[in-house]
Structure 1
Amino acid sequence: MIPLQRPPLQPRLAAELARATERIRTDGPNTAGGRAAWRRAVRPKAQLRLMLRQMAPGLERCMYCGDNLGTDIDHFEPIAQAPLRTFDWQNHLLACAHCNSNRKRDRFPRDPATGDGLLVDPCREDPADHLRLYLDSGAYDPLTVRGAATIEVFGLNERPELVRGRRMMFAVVKALLLTWRAAATSAEAAEYAAALREIHHADVLRTVLALRRRRPLALAVLGPDVLDALDRLAGADPGLSA
């Protein structure tokens, strides 16, 4: 997971979502009513999906696993638990079918003492504050209770394809950095930089970029050639600096 920026809604869409919420409130908010209203909302859902696709990592990847194509609008706090948030833009994330329908479903673990949700919202906080990615293994280590809940709900370490994919993507990132450094033309270099921005598992690239702040560790993990390429790229392309 990586932090994401949520753009503001257009006034017309915001007003339409507010009216839909008010109808749910008037009818008496419940799970069935919220789900029925969501099914009927064809036009606003299409607009929301477009906005989520534009803010998703890489090539419209799932905002949770970062691997699969984001196909579903997920209600971060499920309709079953918060029907009045059915049309809340701050409650919408783009998810793959596996994360949304197979893993999360209506799960939303809460702190037993406060009732606050425990899942990490990448639009409200930096997932790196709760999850540490180990590049050599491709596995996540929880730094907080919320990180542990997020790993468990989305199966970030249980799904072998995710762990292996992150490990392999680390090799791809290193290769792209070296290839970028060796590019013969600026156009060729731009192509490799663009490939870095759009890779699957954007969390791998972000972890590599963050290593620049920890020089001894970066040298040990990346090696001198890759670290040199990373420094040069960060200097040449501010969009690829952590």
Structure 2
Amino acid sequence: MIRLRRALLPAATTERLADYTAEIRQQATEKERKDRARELWANRRQVRPALVAGLAEMAPGRERCMYCGDSQGTDIDHFEPKSLAPLRTFDWLNHLLACSFCNSNQKRDLFPTAADGSPLLVDPSAEDPLDHLRLVLPLGTYRGLTGRGEACIEVFGLNDRAVLVEGRRDAYATARHSVELWRIAMDKGQRDKATEIVRVTWNRPLIDVLVAMFHQSGHPAADALFAGEEEILDLLLDAELRSAFLHFRGLSY
């Protein structure tokens, strides 16, 4: 999971979403609100194209799932499930792009909360997941830094799905090669090639690995985190390289 910037919707879509929410709010009971929300969502043809386009713009890589970062995002997921919060069914701030596996097999209607009722899952469009999760780069597994990070690991199966863990290990190797190739291209004066390397690198699946590399390279314990990989750490700390890669995604690690 990586930090995402919420896209803006067309004004007409925003108005339509508000109309749907008002219609749900008018229902007399909670059951009626849930039933009406479900009915309206099943017939959302007028707003679906704009919602999908907005989520695709926000998504990591080439429309990757905002939870696992690996598979293509195919579903509009309600961060707070509509079965629990019908009034948020058409709330744009409650919509994320998920792959069908994360949406239907992992998250479903799960929405764990703390004792005070606050959500334990991390919304990547509202906060930085790296405040709650740390990727152990050589292993391809996540470690929870907080209870919320641990909840994300459990609900989305971030460490239980071998395809994700193995994919992250491969993505780490590929990302290391990319930063090395970028430095070589720049040293040869091949700026167009270097720019292309940056673009292709960010468009790959599992770019949470690349984000974690830059984030951890600036950590006070970076020498320990990259023990035995000092050359990669030096590259990740190269101001010119950091600017080229991070500026592409609007990051500031």
**TM-score normalised over the length of structure 2:** 0.89
Corresponding residue number in structure 2 for 1:196: 201
In percent, how many aligned pairs have the same letter? 46
How far does residue 221 in structure 1 lie from its aligned partner after superposition?
5.4
Work out whether 1:222 is the aligned partner of 2:229: yes
Conservation of the 8 A alpha-carbon contact between 1:218 and 1:227: no
Count of matched residue positions in the alignment of Structure 1 and Structure 2: 240
Corresponding residue number in structure 2 for 1:173: 175
Residues 143 and 219 of structure 1: CA distance in aligned 2, closer, same or farther (over 3 Å): closer
How far does residue 91 in structure 1 lie from its aligned partner after superposition?
0.3
Amino acid at match of 1:227: L
3-state SS of paired residue (2:46): helix
Amino acid at match of 1:60: E
For residues 84 and 119 of structure 1, the distance between their equivalents in structure 2, rounded to whole angstroms, comes to 19
Work out whether 1:205 is the aligned partner of 2:210: yes
Conservation of the 8 A alpha-carbon contact between 1:30 and 1:80: no
Work out whether 1:83 is the aligned partner of 2:91: no
For residues 171 and 83 of structure 1, the distance between their equivalents in structure 2, rounded to whole angstroms, comes to 43
How far does residue 218 in structure 1 lie from its aligned partner after superposition?
5.8
How far does residue 217 in structure 1 lie from its aligned partner after superposition?
3.5
3-state SS of paired residue (1:70): coil
Pairs within 5 Å for 1:37-76: 37-76=40-79
Residues 64 and 238 of structure 1: CA distance in aligned 2, closer, same or farther (over 3 Å): closer
Residues 153 and 38 of structure 1: CA distance in aligned 2, closer, same or farther (over 3 Å): same
Unaligned runs of 5+ in 1: none
For residues 156 and 51 of structure 1, the distance between their equivalents in structure 2, rounded to whole angstroms, comes to 25
For residues 175 and 18 of structure 2, the distance between their equivalents in structure 1, rounded to whole angstroms, comes to 43
- Corresponding residue to 2:103 among 73, 96, 100: 100
How far does residue 8 in structure 1 lie from its aligned partner after superposition?
3.0
Deviation larger for 196-205 or 169-178: 196-205
Pairs within 5 Å for 1:8-47: 8-28=8-28, 29-47=32-50
3-state SS of paired residue (1:141): strand
Conservation of the 8 A alpha-carbon contact between 2:60 and 2:69: yes
Deviation larger for 24-33 or 130-139: 24-33
For residues 53 and 244 of structure 2, the distance between their equivalents in structure 1, rounded to whole angstroms, comes to 31
For residues 64 and 222 of structure 1, the distance between their equivalents in structure 2, rounded to whole angstroms, comes to 28
3-state SS of paired residue (1:182): helix
Conservation of the 8 A alpha-carbon contact between 1:211 and 1:217: no
Residues 218 and 196 of structure 1: CA distance in aligned 2, closer, same or farther (over 3 Å): farther
Superposed CA deviations along residues 15-41 of structure 1, whole A, max 9, x for unmatched, are 110000111112345332211100111
3-state SS of paired residue (1:64): coil
Unaligned runs of 5+ in 2: none
Amino acid at match of 2:182: W
Corresponding residue number in structure 1 for 2:138: 136
How far does residue 237 in structure 1 lie from its aligned partner after superposition?
4.9
3-state SS of paired residue (1:220): coil
Pairs within 5 Å for 1:142-181: 142-181=144-183
3-state SS of paired residue (2:2): coil
Conservation of the 8 A alpha-carbon contact between 2:60 and 2:66: yes
Conservation of the 8 A alpha-carbon contact between 1:85 and 1:91: yes
For residues 167 and 132 of structure 1, the distance between their equivalents in structure 2, rounded to whole angstroms, comes to 14
